Amino acid sequence: MPRLALSSVLVLLSCASARVAESERRVTPPRRLALAAPAPRRTVVVDGVTLSLHDSAPERDGPVLLCLHAIGHGGSDFAAVVEAFAPKLRVIAIDWPGHGASGDDPTPASARRYTVLLEGVVAQLGLRQVVLLGNSIGGAVAIDFAAQHPELVRALVLANPGGLDPGGLFAGLFIANLAGHFHDGALGLARFAPWFARYYEGVLVTDAARTQRTRIVEAGWESAPVLEQAWRSFATPEADLRARAKTLSMPVLVTWALRDELIQWRRNREAVESIPRVTVVPFEAGHAPFLETPEPFNAALRTFLDGLP
């Protein structure tokens, strides 16, 4: 193989470390607004953070389905759930800080931080006997919240939740690698954009999720700092929720996207099956079955909800 000339090496190194102008990475209005929870939206302020949410029936005093999205996504992930269940339920979808239409949070992103914010939302809205639907970091928040406040949670619906992987050296290296890529994005390095686009082709894998995947990728520069914070938090001891999962007393539906390479079934199966009242339904999806396979997911969710005591 011929050797690269020194000038060619310098060009490659220059391209690898080139930065994208701030004006190109952050525009007005922000691209993440396309990921915001469905309209109409309202806001609540918790611990100084303005959180935007969709509330399908704020006047309804009945069952509540509260939806918690993955990091880097937004409340609009649950548009199909809102459409399917709002006629009979009060459906709430939150935008996490720095996502969708919510404000920024000076406290770094983590499941523990988001649990604190969720506690404030539930208290301010006066919610009781909520069904929590959480995906990824949202699933970790749902587990954490339900373990601490079982009197407020009627049931859990978990879609490839965080917090149940056994960790170890492999997990630590995997997390560090992803956090490094998101750090590139936070710095504005040009190599982040093509990597992020390829990365999401393996996260949301079905045609049904194509539009949302495009929106997530387009908002990548804006979400990169929060993605880095969240992924670094996944390597901390407090991110391990396996012990708490074993204490859950309410019915739990686990909807598992089998093609997920981020949160793999083989690594999480033991923890999932340790949940006392768990039902597991698999889906041919990459990370978010309610978004990637909406009709089968909604059918499974409806069956689960109809069977609740």
Burial class (CB in 10 A: 0-12, 13-18, 19+), 223: buried
Q: Which two tokens stand for residue 160?
A: 């490839």
Please say whether the beta carbons of 140 and 238 come within 8 A: no
Burial class (CB in 10 A: 0-12, 13-18, 19+), 84: buried
pLDDT tens-digit map of 252-290: 999 999 999 999 999 999 999 999 999 999 999 999 999
Please say whether the beta carbons of 168 and 176 come within 8 A: no
Q: Which fold has domain 27-165+240-306?
A: Rossmann fold (3.40.50)
Of all residues in the chain, the percent with pLDDT exceeding 70 is: 95
Which residues make beta-bridge pairs with 282? 256
pLDDT tens-digit map of 84-139: 999 999 999 999 999 999 999 999 999 999 999 999 999 999 999 999 999 999 99
Phi, psi at residue 257, to the nearest 5°? -80, 110
Q: Residue 10: what pLDDT?
A: 39
Sequence ranges of the domains in the chain: 27-165+240-306
Q: In what order do the strands lie in the sheet with 252-257?
A: 41-46, 49-55, 90-94, 64-68, 130-136, 153-161, 252-257, 278-283
Of all residues in the chain, the percent with pLDDT exceeding 90 is: 94
